[in-house]
Chains A and B, each alone.
Chain A
Amino acid sequence: MNLDWLDAFLVSGLFYVMMVIGLALLLHLQLGLARIANFGVVGFWGIGMYAFGVLFVKVDWPFGEVWAFLISVVFGTVVAGLAGLLVGWLIADLDIDGVLVGTLGFATAVWILATTEQDLTGGALGMGGLGFPYDIGSVKANETLWLVILTILVAIILYYVSRVHKSPYGRLLISIGDNEPLARSLGKAPFQTKLWLFAVSSAGMGLLGAMYGVNERFLETGNLGIDITLAAMVGLVLGSTTRMWGAAVGVALTVGLFDVVIQFYLPLPREWYTQAIPVLREMVFGGVLIIVLLFRPYGVLGDMRRDKLMRRMHGG
């Protein structure tokens, strides 16, 4: 396949955008529906990435590469899901401050673990040895295929989220986020609901982390800072926390605009990219966020419209 028209930078830029959309969609379930502000997105993402990487690289697999790869991916996903269960259990009964501290603390713990467990993770030096479970030719071809696979995964997440909106489960999440005591009085179990929500969405975040690790072929603790969490959170809030498409639109407008369009298509001096742009980026993100929240507190797309949805589903 001739991929000359495709720039390698564009492929990795799109990979990042797509991944953040996936994270923002999962965050949307937590923040937009159940109103739990998870500031530890990167922790679940990172634990999935490292659990996958460590198992895949450190274990002497007796069978084929592809099987080892798949088992490791499942492992990373499950470990992230279990981490979600644990964190969900810790924060389910806490107020907003508690959730903030708990989730941030979890993300920090993942970073510390990845840094200090050098034998397993390579610590600050990082860990190599990862690769695609296939080889279809050039690096660019392999990366492009991986981007396609990620896109399919994110499309599946998008579909799941859209079904959640249309299901009793989504209604349950909204009710608990909206008025927990009232939901409780109707027999709903907020604790159990939040636990499962965190398990499922964290597993998804972990899977995205594992896929990112593969794409980079190298795991770095530098990835475990606040950037990923902020990217997902800012994108989602900008687009609309409560609407499914908010995640996609918001992330496209922030990360997409900056990491792909501006950096890729604008002929800016090279040295800007390392110095000015990252700072400028955070400033613009912050500024845009403030403006949007001032004038459209529910984000670009506005608040969710259950009345429209109900009419569509049960109005006939």
Chain B
Amino acid sequence: MAGDHKDTAFAREPTRDSDGSRPRVRIQDAVKSFAGRVVVDVDDLTLGTHPIEGLIGPNGAGKTTLLRMIMHSISLDRGTVTLSSDGDGSEVVLSDLPAHRMARHGVVKTNQVITDFEKLTILDSLLLSVAKATDEWPYRIYREQGLYEDTVEGILWYLDRFEFEDPLGFAKSAGEKKLLDIIRCLLLKPRVLLLDEPTAGLPDDIRDQLMGLIDEKAAEENMAVVIVEHDLHVIWTMSDYVHFMAEGRVLLQGEPRSIREHDTVIEKYLGSGHV
């Protein structure tokens, strides 16, 4: 487990067990191809049996595509994605739902490439994230102040911890935009949080702080976290379980230690430098 990296700022105790009430995402017989080339072909994969899971693999392995299939922000050629939680015994077929319904079911993804609203300020973005559909009806033209008062505490909680140069203005740097993207997602109070290369472009101290926070949330709020990362240091220290993907398929699964020592992984992906 992750215990052998306690030296890092966001390492944690490796004592947490899998928890039945954590929501799980199951991907079955799911295929996606672009221009006739199969990019993802997953037989049966369950994410979320462990609090924090890593999803690794070489460039072009299909990691981002797989996450986007879960979010249904791209269509599936075939297959199903189901969200289930033992806690309340509910089961939702995500692949039958439009993309905008995912957030309501608590399934949320951050973006690998910088993604932001050009015309919205940081505060705008955060208020957008916390606003409910009922706040946003065309006739609710006096709702802003109430929304602000109802939600400002939760927003400030993040703004106090993560400093932006000008929260009332626009996100300035790539780092700010990346961070904003993640905080927008956290404000949605996800049950399943998919992080697509969350640390790329973040300064080290903010990365550590953010990962520490996510780690906390995974433990305390029963959130299932899936991290896609090329920074394997993050993967080895944070995840309880790792899926290794190459050429659209999940080739290996296991605890971080066993994955990092696996010949296939080393050969296909890591090279000796990474381990």
Interface residues of A (CB under 8 A from B): 160, 163-164, 166-169, 171-172, 174-175, 177-179, 181-190, 193, 196-197, 200, 242, 303-304, 306-307, 310-311, 313-315
Contacts and interface: CB of A to CB of B under 8 A. Distances in A.
A181 B118 CA distance: 13
B103 A306 contact: no
A189 B108 CA distance: 15
B168 A175 contact: no
Interface string B84-105: 0000000000000011111110
Given A168-B144, A169-B140, A306-B121, A187 B135 contact: no
B131 A185 contact: no
A313 B145 CA distance: 8
Nearest to A303: B119
A189 B144 contact: no
A185 B99 contact: yes
A185 B109 contact: yes
A307 B100 CA distance: 27
Contacts of B147: 168
17 contacts: A164-B141, A166-B141, A168-B127, A168-B143, A169-B138, A171-B128, A171-B131, A175-B117, A175-B120, A178-B117, A181-B99, A185-B100, A187-B102, A187-B103, A306-B119, A307-B121, A307-B168
Contacts of A175: 117, 120, 128
Nearest to A200: B138
User: 6 shortest A-B CB distances, which residue pairs?
Assistant: A187-B103, A163-B141, A307-B169, A184-B100, A168-B135, A172-B136
A197 B138 CA distance: 7
B143 A307 contact: no
Contacts of A163: 141-142
Given A171-B131, A179-B116, A184 B138 contact: no
A188 B110 CA distance: 16
B123 interface: yes
Interface residues of B, number: 44
Nearest to A190: B100
A293 B71 CA distance: 39
Contact of B119 (A172, A178, A184, A187): A178
Given A179-B116, A181-B73, A186 B188 contact: yes
B141 A179 contact: no
Contacts of B148: 313-314
Contacts of B135: 168
Contacts of A168: 127-128, 131, 135-136, 140, 143-144, 147
A259 B79 CA distance: 62
B143 A167 contact: yes
A162 to B, nearest CB: 9
A190 B101 CA distance: 11
A189 to B, nearest CB: 5
A92 B102 CA distance: 20
Contact of A186 (B119, B121, B123, B184): B184
Contacts of B71: 185
Given A169-B137, A178-B117, A188 B100 contact: yes
A313 B188 CA distance: 23
B170 interface: yes
Interface in B110-134: 111, 115-121, 123-124, 127-129, 131, 133
A216 B235 CA distance: 72
Contacts of B133: 187, 189
